[in-house]
Structures are given as structure tokens and as C-alpha cells.
Structure 1
Amino acid sequence: LSDVGPTMAEPFHLNTPLLESATMSRRVGTTVYLKMENSQPSGSFKIRGIGHLCGQVSPNRIVCSSGGNAGMAAAYVAKKMDLAATIVVPSSTPPLVIHRLLDQGAVVKTVGKVWDDADAEALRLAAKENLTYVPPFDHPLLWQGHASLISEVASSLGPAVKPGGVVLSVGGGGLLCGVVQGLKVVGWTDVPVVAVETVGADCFNAAVKAGRIVTLDDITSEAKCLGAKTVCQKAFEYSQGDSEVTIISELVTDQQALQAVETFLDEERVLVEMACGAALAAVYSGLIGRLQDQGRLPNSLAPLLVIVCGGSSIDMNQLKYLKEKLQT
């Protein structure tokens, strides 16, 4: 492989595998396809949107606020473009994420308790030092980049197969916006999206229930990469019918998300973070079956697409720590 990075016309992300899971398929009674975004160079789907944005705006020096995954994507892209990158993270960020960011050559600043605090500092730095601010989830170019995920799935499945639903995790809402836009691009607007958050990192669900944007008082979930206190406006608008796509907002507990991470490791031999475990828990906790019982998903369900969004904030030591903290 060449050490030369992508040109502006070439994407930074990979066309990731679409795998069929026999064990998950057996659980829900229909074929389950896994879009393995954990295999992206930066470890998560974030590289799609951030790579697309950086390729469009021709940045100079980059600053990005992140709980981990957006920062890893920004640091990776900056390294490929031979640019300096400053990543601002909250104090809740695991040390292993900081080490990985430093390995990518980024400057890391730790500011505040939650992502919102880090984001305020990133915006301040961008203005003060004339840096290019790279948002982690709230920008149309990010959503355009993330939409490529659905185009890849459509290409892999072929015209004869259409999913009966898409399951994904929601943090700030960038992936959700990208998936909705991708479904529109490929003509799958009748495919519902099951958007899953953990209790305590549930800004999207809170907004859906309230019928307005809600800012959480704090992030109490251990799924820190879902930890935006306010969902982006576009994701909320999509939830209120500003798209042709039905969005079903659901919650799982931290314990269910962590159990999903462990089960996925056992059955699929892949370790992902708790933020990703939220989506996986929709299958493992029986949530999909309950939605079918409630008539919100059809009993005869076409293949289910689960987005394995990945994550940088997990290793065996972190998994052990989470197990002890949550006592699973």
C-alpha cells in the first residue's frame, strides 16, 4: 500500500463489509445484516462524514470536539492531509482514546465534564487561532458523507432485496441524519429506522417525547460517545415528520448495552464500544420483537440492517472496568 493519502476526489473511508449474522437472525426470526463500520480506518462511521467535509472545505489546521470517535476521524484525516489537528475532549474520555489520538499525531486538550463543554472550547479555539472547526455531528456535509453507508448497502444487497428496518445508535444525531438521507437517495423511504439510545444519554428520545429540542441536565450513561446533551436540529425535524422516513425512538439501559457488547464479542468475535452496543441491544434485549408485538414493526419482517457503528473507546481493560462499574 502507498503512503500517499487520498486526493480530494478520493474518499478517506472504506466500503465496509456487510455480513449476515446467523445468531442474530435466529433471535429475531429474519435475516440480520451487519454493516461493519467498526472496520473503518478510524474505528467508526465518523470517517465518512468528517472525511467528506474536510475534502470539501480544504481546511488549514483542524480543531474538533469529541468524545472519541469524531476526534479519531478528524485526527486520521488531518494526518492524511498533512495538517495539524487539535482534538478537545471532555474529562469523561477514557485514557485509551487519548492515547490513540496522540498516536495519530493530534494535540489533545481535555476541557469540561461532557462533550458540550469540550465543544464550546473547540469553537473558542477556532475563532481565536483561525482553525477550521470540524463539528462531530451537526453539519450537512457530514450527513452527505454518512449517507454513503446506505448506498453501499443497497449496492451489496442488489435490487431484489430491501431491508425491513434499519437499527442504529443515536448520539448527537449525525448518523441518523445521514441514514435518512441515504434511504432517500436509494428510494427506501418506506424502510423504518429504529433509533436507539441509552438511558442517561437520551437527548433525542427526550426531544421526541417533548415535541421540542431538549437539553439534558447531565450525561449519566456510561455510553459516553452518545453523550451530547442536545440533539441536532435536523435529527429532531426528521423525527417530527420532516422526511418520508418513519423513525422509532427507543431506549435501552447501560446494562443492556454492555451485555450486547459482550454477546457480540462472544458470537461475532468483534469488540465494539457501549455506544454501538445500544443498537445491538435492540436485537439482543428483545426490543425488535416488542416493536413487532406493538405493531410498530411488521410481524413478517424483511431483512434487518444493523449498523455496527464501532468505536474507539473500548479495549479489554475498559470492558472489565465497565463490567465492574455496572455489575453485569
Structure 2
Amino acid sequence: MELIITKKGALNLSRRIDIKEVERAQKRIASLVNKTPLIESFVLSEKLGRPVYLKLENTHDIGAFKVRGAANKILSLSVEEKVRGVTTYSTGNHGMAVAFVAKKLGIRAVVCISSRVPKAKVDSLKSLGAKIEVVGKSQDAAGVRCYELAKEKGYTVIEPFDDPFVIAGQGTIGLELLEDLPDLKDVVVPLSGGGLLSGIGLALKSNRSDIRITGVSMEQSAVMHESIKAGKPVELEESETLADSLLGGIGFNNQYTFKMVQTFMDQIVLSSEEEIGYAIAYMMDKQRIIMEGAAATGIAAILGNNVAHQNGALAVIITGQNVDMSILLQLIKNYTFEKSKN
């Protein structure tokens, strides 16, 4: 596990998203998105010697937080845009979110994905009625096809993360945390393209600058981490990982999330595949909570004691639960075997 303290960047004021956008998003999406539970994890609280809470974004209808941003973006479209339809590119969860919202609103949706998207997410996409196009072996390749469709068919592209409406939608999680947890001191947020961390960071730090935000990702193909190290967006080849939802580039022309992550994130923790797998099985064993690899990166950081202790509550964003059953069973088998040896 690697721990890196981030250098603070300065937001480009011409591309700044105001906290009022997050507050408007909370009202806009209320008809489609329910407030998610915040529960204390007593096993983690005992382990860390401080209150640890789990924000259960895996309880949404699609099993992931992405529905917030997708709903805010699609609901903001004009009548003409809704009639023409929407398209997106995704590692799975965002595509499901767009498909879910589009189905609810009676809008045509085409989701472009790569061949790396796990079967569980592909099956969910099919059940939601969206047209699926499988393109290449990376989210970037799927993104190219998405923009081709937009040009050919007149669809509106629903960006996965680098969009002010999507960021504001994800930021509603931060508003809910502030409502439910006055003693909040630390938030652990899975990090990929940065839409989630940008939105939560905006919501939290606009109200409480003392709250520490830790981004968490996997060791392999952590593009935002490498981009921050380089001081500019970079491209990486995607690798096989349990945290498949965190794959994909951030875009060389990134307009919002790169600078927002630089500004709001206090540190980043990278976890190994073994640590992520253990965290998934550990939470199944100790709390009977199913989570996918991306969500488990936060638990891995906690179990590795990589968030420095301070008094006050710590919240971990449990971003989703869409994991293939075959993977889950193998991880539990490995975990049970290791427990039996001790």
C-alpha cells in the first residue's frame, strides 16, 4: 500500500463549480434518488479507536453512487435533447446509471463499454434496456465511439465524471454527510476520474475546511494519481484489477476534476490487489456487506491504518456492490482458508 500526500492546486475560476450547484442538484434529483444510509461500523471503530461510518451508496437501485450524477445531468437537459436521446461511455456503473435514469424518463440511451467490463455489469445494463456497444479494451476506446454516435445520431453525451452537473450530483453525498454527522473529521473516497471526490470535496470544504479528504485507488493503472504526480493529465494502459470501476483515463482536455481533486484532496492511498480482495471478504465476514473492488479500496486503506488518527468521526464512501459472483466466491474461499490457518 502506498501513501502519497498531494500538492494543492488552484482552481481555474472560469471553470469553478459553486456549492449552490450541489444544493440545486439535491433538489433536482430527489424524485429519482433516495438518501442513502449512514451506519457505524463497530468492528472498524474498535479497530481504529475512533468512530467509523459507512455511507452505503451500494443501496441505490443500480447498486452504485453513479445514479446521482447521471440523474442531475439528464434532468437538466432540454426537451429537445431528451427527445434525441443520450449516449455515454463507462466502466459499468455510470452506464447503468444513465440507462436507469433514461428508462425512468422514457429516453433512448446507448452505452459504450470496453471488453473489460465485468459480466455482472453487462447483464445489469441489458436488464435496464439500454443499447450496448462493446468497443476495444479500454474506457478511452469506448469514449471515442460514444462521441462518434453523438455526431452521427445527435445524441447528448453524458460524461462519466468531468461535467459540472455530474460533479454536483455526486456532491449531494457530501451534503448528506454534513446533515447526518456533525462530528465528521475524515472522509475516504474512491478515486478514478475524480467526479465523486470533486463533488464531495466541494460540498464538504465549502462548509467545513477542516475536514480531511483521502482519495483511495488501486496500485495498477491509477490514472488520476499519476496525473497529479506529473502535474498534468496522463494516459495509462488499463490493467486487470478487482477495482475495475476505477479504470479509465481522465482526458487530456480535463476541464474540472483534475484541478478540483488537486484542490480538495489532502492525500491519496494506493492499495494492492491482495489488500482489496481481503477487504471485500473481510466486510462480507464481519458486516455481511457486499461491495465491489472499487468500494473496497476505502476499507483496505482503513485496515492498513493509512489514514492518520485524529479525534472525531471518519466516513468511508461505499461506492457500489456490482461484483461478479464468481470473483466474490473465490475471494471468500481464499479468506476462509487463510483464517483457518491462523
Aligned residue number for residue 316 of structure 1 = 325
Q: Following the alignment from structure 1 to structure 2, what is the Cα–Cα distance between the partners of residues 194 and 304? A: 10
Q: Following the alignment from structure 1 to structure 2, what is the Cα–Cα distance between the partners of residues 222 and 150? A: 26
Q: Following the alignment from structure 1 to structure 2, what is the Cα–Cα distance between the partners of residues 265 and 101? A: 25
TM-score by length of 2: 0.83
Residues 157-191 of structure 1 show CA distances to partners (whole Å, capped at 9, x for unaligned) of 2xxx2311100111111101111111134x12221
Q: Following the alignment from structure 2 to structure 1, what is the Cα–Cα distance between the partners of residues 116 and 330? A: 14
Percent identity among equivalent residues?
29
Aligned residue number for residue 301 of structure 2 = 282
Q: How far did 1:216 drift?
A: 1.2
1:164 aligns with 2:185: yes
Aligned residue number for residue 47 of structure 1 = 67
Q: How far did 1:223 drift?
A: 1.7
Residues 203-237 of structure 1 show CA distances to partners (whole Å, capped at 9, x for unaligned) of 11112222222211333433211001336553321
1:287–1:86 Cα change, 3 Å: same
Pick one of 130, 135, 138 that aligns with 1:111. 135
Counterpart amino acid of residue 310 in structure 1 = G
Q: Following the alignment from structure 1 to structure 2, what is the Cα–Cα distance between the partners of residues 246 and 102? A: 36
Q: Following the alignment from structure 2 to structure 1, what is the Cα–Cα distance between the partners of residues 276 and 270? A: 10
CA contact (8 A) 1:213 1:233 kept: no
Q: Following the alignment from structure 1 to structure 2, what is the Cα–Cα distance between the partners of residues 137 and 69? A: 12
Pick one of 253, 257, 282 that aligns with 1:235. 257
1:218 aligns with 2:255: no
Q: Give 3-state SS (helix, strand or coil) of 2:268's partner.
A: strand
Q: How far did 1:325 drift?
A: 11
Q: Following the alignment from structure 1 to structure 2, what is the Cα–Cα distance between the partners of residues 67 and 302? A: 35
Q: How far did 1:90 drift?
A: 0.5
Q: Following the alignment from structure 1 to structure 2, what is the Cα–Cα distance between the partners of residues 270 and 264? A: 6
Q: Give 3-state SS (helix, strand or coil) of 1:164's partner.
A: strand
Q: Following the alignment from structure 2 to structure 1, what is the Cα–Cα distance between the partners of residues 311 and 60? A: 29
Which 4+ stretches in 1 moved above 6 angstroms? 322-328
Q: Following the alignment from structure 1 to structure 2, what is the Cα–Cα distance between the partners of residues 300 and 222? A: 30
TM-score by length of 1: 0.87
Q: Following the alignment from structure 1 to structure 2, what is the Cα–Cα distance between the partners of residues 197 and 227? A: 10
Counterpart amino acid of residue 279 in structure 1 = G
Q: Following the alignment from structure 1 to structure 2, what is the Cα–Cα distance between the partners of residues 265 and 322? A: 10
Q: Following the alignment from structure 2 to structure 1, what is the Cα–Cα distance between the partners of residues 28 and 189? A: 29
CA contact (8 A) 1:276 1:309 kept: yes
Pick one of 178, 194, 200 that aligns with 1:173. 194
Pick one of 14, 34, 40 that aligns with 1:20. 40
Structure 1: tracts of 5 or more residues without a match: 1-6, 293-298
Pick one of 96, 99, 119 that aligns with 1:95. 119
Q: How far did 1:69 drift?
A: 0.4
Q: Following the alignment from structure 1 to structure 2, what is the Cα–Cα distance between the partners of residues 182 and 206? A: 25
CA contact (8 A) 1:52 1:142 kept: yes
1:300 aligns with 2:319: no
Q: Following the alignment from structure 1 to structure 2, what is the Cα–Cα distance between the partners of residues 83 and 228? A: 26
Counterpart amino acid of residue 45 in structure 2 = S
Q: How far did 1:301 drift?
A: 2.8
Q: Following the alignment from structure 1 to structure 2, what is the Cα–Cα distance between the partners of residues 228 and 86? A: 19
CA contact (8 A) 2:178 2:184 kept: no
Q: Following the alignment from structure 1 to structure 2, what is the Cα–Cα distance between the partners of residues 141 and 76? A: 17
Pick one of 60, 73, 77 that aligns with 1:57. 77
CA contact (8 A) 1:205 1:249 kept: yes
Q: Give 3-state SS (helix, strand or coil) of 2:87's partner.
A: strand
1:257 aligns with 2:281: no
Alignment size in residue pairs: 305
Q: How far did 1:322 drift?
A: 6.3
Aligned residue number for residue 285 of structure 2 = 266
Aligned residue number for residue 198 of structure 1 = 218
Aligned residue number for residue 295 of structure 1 = none
